[in-house]
Amino acid sequence: MPHTVALGEPTVGEAELDAVRRVFESGWLSGAGPTCREFESRFAETAGTQHVLTTSNCGSALHLALSVLGAGPGDEVIVGDYTFPATGHSVMWTGATPVFADIRADIWTVDPAAVEAAITPRTVGIIAVDVFGQPADFDELRAIADRHGLWLVEDAACSAGASYKGRPAGSLADIATFSFHGRKGITAGEGGALTTDNLLWADHARKLHTYGIAPALTREGSTDLPIPSFDEAGYNFRMSDIAAGIMLAQLDRLTSLVSHRGEIAALYADRLKQIEGVTAPVALEDRVHPWQSYVITLAPGVDRGRVAHHMRSNGVQCNFGTYASHVQPVYQFDGQLPVSADLWTRHLAIPMHANLTEADVDRVVEVLSDSVTVAR
């Protein structure tokens, strides 16, 4: 039987192993060390921001972002609905309430009109999600935020290497957050980052991410015995230097990985035209899509469960796209978001990673075509 075509797969090798070896030889393996600082400096260039903080994951970066922005009990934060629930959870972790806004039917990012309609006197900010890596409409969202005196956060979990009107993901809002989970475009298995141009927010986030004190690196080499004082309860949200070493090697690959994913996306778009009942995703010309995932839309009447079962049975991995957050019981959200509610039942993620070949694409499309026929 042919090999299984993986839904997602990291591109790692000797460069990453060498990077880990260098960290081992340095003697500093724990979090927030010199290798983290090196990655932060280099990633700031990629994100186009002055400050970067490495974190344990994107959820912790979101938590830090909302904490330093001052979200708390009694506040509402508008959240693009089509996202993994870590986005909404991050609002709840601060004691604030997530208010979900519906999405564009074409690129699935939050609809600016829906954001404006959701604003109330309790609204303090907006979290816009770059869905599967493609940036949201940040010019429109920035205008809305400024008009109403709100802050704006970019959930750029999937967006390393993306851009919007020539500006890199990470620089499109007051604060942005990234994920380096194993299915992301660049990865250390886990990890995240917070980016901003605001020094006060960056310094406060760095303090909070190390239990409420300055990281140990700031005391390295001291000739006396500085003893930190805790005046604020923080968290252990640090990335290890081992992960940061891997991320340095991954950052060297970023341009080629995004380029190859774009080539795979173009092959899919061409091949999928032949399958009735399948719509390929849209990539807008004014932004660079890094294709963290490749998500197709099945026509009404095509049984997604049967499609998935048939594909997996024939050696091609797949999964649902992401969540319509507002229907998740944890949020007890009282509202109807018809676009998101519809699409999350019809979206299907098919294999997308930088290790795919044209032969893999042809096989995926052939199995998908057969599966859709079976599922009608």
Query: Residues 31-57: pLDDT tens digits?
Result: 999 999 999 999 999 999 999 999 999
For residue 2, pLDDT over 90 is answered with no
Helix (H, G, I), strand (E, B) or coil at 92: helix
In angstroms, rounded to a whole number, what is the distance separating the alpha carbons of residues 244 and 336? 42
Residues with Cβ within 8 Å of 304's Cβ and at least 6 positions away in sequence, in order, are 298, 320, 345, 346, 348, 375
What beta strand segments (E) does the chain contain?
A: 51-55, 76-80, 97-101, 123-129, 151-155, 163-164, 167-168, 175-179, 192-196, 278-279, 287-288, 294-298, 347-350
Between the alpha carbon of residue 256 and those of residues 73, 76, 161, 185, 354, the distances in Å are 44, 40, 10, 11, 9
Number of CB atoms found within 10 A of residue 75's CB: 18
Number of CB atoms found within 10 A of residue 64's CB: 28
Q: Say what the pLDDT of residue 160 is.
A: 98
Between the alpha carbon of residue 165 and those of residues 34, 115, 143, 274, 288, the distances in Å are 34, 21, 16, 32, 8
Number of CB atoms found within 10 A of residue 27's CB: 8
On whether the CB atoms of residues 365 and 357 are closer than 8 A, the answer is no
Q: What is the mean pLDDT of residues 75-90?
A: 98
Number of CB atoms found within 10 A of residue 146's CB: 10
Give 162-188 pLDDT, tens digit per residue.
999 999 999 999 999 999 999 999 999
Number of CB atoms found within 10 A of residue 273's CB: 10
Q: Using DSSP bridges, classify how beta strands 151-155 and 175-179 pair: parallel, antiparallel or unpaired.
A: parallel
Give 94-106 pLDDT, tens digit per residue.
999 999 999 999 9
Give 260-280 pLDDT, tens digit per residue.
999 999 999 999 999 999 999
Place of tokens 């079962």: 309
Q: Say what the pLDDT of residue 278 is.
A: 98
Tokens of 124: 């303090």
In angstroms, rounded to a whole number, what is the distance separating the alpha carbons of residues 100 and 334? 10
Q: What is the mean pLDDT of residues 125-136?
A: 98
Q: Which of 105, 130, 129 is nearest to 288 (CA)?
A: 130
- The model's confidence at residue 214, banded by pLDDT at 50, 70 and 90, is confident
Q: What is the mean pLDDT of residues 136-158?
A: 98
In angstroms, rounded to a whole number, what is the distance separating the alpha carbons of residues 175 and 365? 39
Q: Say what the pLDDT of residue 1 is.
A: 61
> Which domains are assigned to the chain?
14-251 (3.40.640.10), 254-375 (3.90.1150.10)
For residue 147, pLDDT over 90 is answered with yes
Instruction: Say what percent of the chain tops pLDDT 70.
Output: 100
Give 310-326 pLDDT, tens digit per residue.
999 999 999 999 999 99
